[in-house]
């Protein structure tokens, strides 16, 4: 009986202390592949990344997350996308390890607009370290040296409508939920929904992009949560962002891209909820690497050459005009 009560308590805390059964990322755009399976194949490169998030530093048993991803598209054509993810989340006595595969198909809706549809099946294993439990009765050795384990099959699906200037995407997670009866944990999974939208304000002459974006998440019966982010990118190399997450946190993030291949980013958010007095904020780090890039076509190379010639001519005209106005 004691075992059942402890397991029930551990699973209850895991599902409700977070307010969700899925991880929270400060920079939801940098981790868009985690939130939406339709991201796979939307870029003309193959990407590999690994991220680590430590939440509520100083709070005993606070959540932490390690995730590794690899995704791209067949021949970098941006039509058939695929990927794989490994995720490990820990909170207190509990740990969730998951592996996911991914497929996405992308359609051209116009000259510059595409639509991606993606699905991500996976397998999850929840574990509770009963041997680390602090028992009220120190002489009770019933749970010593035991680990409770439960398994679940999971599926996520989503769409991604995007172009160079905007993106609108939405996805649903834990779709199998309680419909699977032969596993030991599917009955505990609740549907999760999220939607992300953003717009790129491009200043080509200054190599500067300003990107406002927002994400909305919902899991019954938890109230709707939204996040807003403003990100500024310079020369496609440096970027900096500000974040607000409703009734939860404010934060900043920054990153750098090295030789268009290697990326490093860091994020920090400070809790503004009732937990702010018990912790010193959350930290997030990501390392990413572009494995393969799509070679530009002859038409694209000609267009880049023509644009560079026009920019050079415009620059000379501007300099000449300045000289004449002196």
pLDDT digits (tens, 9 = 90+) for 234-253: 988 999 999 999 988 999 99
1-7 long-range Cβ contacts below 8 angstroms, 24+ apart: 2/140, 2/142, 2/143, 3/130, 3/142, 3/143, 3/146, 3/148, 6/128, 6/130, 6/133, 6/143, 7/128, 7/130, 7/148
Whether pLDDT at 20 is above 80: no
H/E stretch holding 8: helix 2-17
What is the Cα–Cα distance from 317 to 255, expressed in whole angstroms? 36
Residue 65 pLDDT grade (very low, low, confident, very high; cuts 50, 70, 90): very high
Whether pLDDT at 68 is above 90: yes
pLDDT in tens, 73-113: 998 888 999 999 999 998 888 889 999 999 999 999 988 89
What number is the average pLDDT over the span 278-291?
89
Residue 201 · residue 213 · CB < 8 Å:
no
Residue 179 pLDDT grade (very low, low, confident, very high; cuts 50, 70, 90): confident
The chain-wide mean pLDDT, for the chain, equals: 83
Q: pLDDT value at position 145?
A: 54
Q: pLDDT value at position 303?
A: 60
pTM of the full predicted structure? 0.79
Q: Which residue's structure tokens are 């941006």? A: 78
What is the Cα–Cα distance from 90 to 61, expressed in whole angstroms? 8
What percentage of the chain exceeds 90 in pLDDT? 48
Fold of 2-293: Porin (2.40.160)
Q: Which residue's structure tokens are 């309680």? A: 178
Residue 7 pLDDT grade (very low, low, confident, very high; cuts 50, 70, 90): very low
Least confident of 22-26, 123-127, 143-147, 265-269: 143-147
Q: Which residue's structure tokens are 């439990």? A: 133
Sign of the CA dihedral 296, 300, 306, 310? negative
Residue of 34 and 12 predicted with greater confidence: 34
What percentage of the chain exceeds 70 in pLDDT? 82
Q: pLDDT value at position 256?
A: 95
C-alpha to C-alpha distances, 284 to 34, 191, 290, nearest whole angstrom: 14, 26, 20
Q: Give the CA radius of gyration of the chain.
A: 23
**Residue 87 burial (CB count, 10 A):** 20
Give 63: exposed, middle or buried? Use CB within 10 Å, 0-12, 13-18, 19+.
Answer: buried
Q: pLDDT value at position 10?
A: 42
Nearest to 213 by CA among 197, 202, 224, 225: 197
What is the Cα–Cα distance from 205 to 121, expressed in whole angstroms? 43
Whether pLDDT at 222 is above 80: yes
Q: pLDDT value at position 134?
A: 57
What tokens does 113 get? Answer: 């607009």
φ/ψ (deg, to 5) at 99 = -130, 135
Residue of 202 and 1 predicted with greater confidence: 202
What is the Cα–Cα distance from 130 to 148, expressed in whole angstroms? 7
């Amino acid at each position: 009986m004691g075992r059942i009560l402890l397991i029930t308590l551990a699973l209850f805390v895991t599902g409700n202390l977070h307010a969700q059964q899925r991880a929270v990322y400060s920079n939801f755009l940098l981790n868009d592949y985690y939130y939406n399976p339709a991201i796979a194949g939307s870029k003309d490169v193959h990407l590999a990344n690994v991220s680590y998030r430590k939440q509520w530093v100083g709070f005993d048993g606070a959540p932490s997350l390690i995730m590794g991803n690899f995704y791209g598209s067949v021949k970098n054509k941006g039509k058939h996308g695929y990927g794989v993810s490994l995720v490990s989340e820990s909170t207190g006595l509990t740990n969730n390890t998951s592996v996911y595969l991914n497929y996405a198909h992308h359609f051209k809706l116009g000259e510059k607009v595409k639509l991606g549809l993606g699905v991500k099946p996976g397998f999850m294993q929840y574990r509770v370290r009963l041997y680390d439990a602090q028992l009220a009765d120190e002489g009770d050795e019933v749970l010593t040296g035991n680990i409770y384990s439960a398994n679940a099959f999971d599926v996520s699906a989503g769409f991604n409508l995007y172009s160079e200037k905007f993106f609108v995407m939405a996805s649903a997670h834990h779709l199998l939920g309680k419909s699977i009866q032969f596993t030991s944990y599917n009955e505990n999974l609740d549907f999760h929904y999220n939607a992300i939208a953003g717009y790129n304000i491009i200043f080509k002459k200054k190599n500067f992009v300003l990107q406002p974006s927002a994400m909305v998440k919902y899991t019954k019966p938890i109230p709707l949560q939204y996040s807003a982010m403003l990100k500024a990118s310079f020369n496609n190399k440096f970027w900096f962002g500000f974040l607000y997450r409703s009734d939860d946190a404010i934060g900043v993030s920054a990153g750098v891209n090295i030789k268009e291949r290697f990326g490093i980013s860091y994020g920090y958010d400070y809790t503004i909820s009732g937990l702010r007095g018990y912790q010193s904020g959350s930290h997030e780090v990501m390392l990413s690497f572009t494995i393969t890039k799509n070679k530009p076509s002859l038409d694209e190379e000609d267009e880049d050459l023509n644009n560079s010639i026009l920019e050079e001519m415009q620059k000379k005209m501007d300099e000449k005009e300045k000289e004449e106005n002196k």
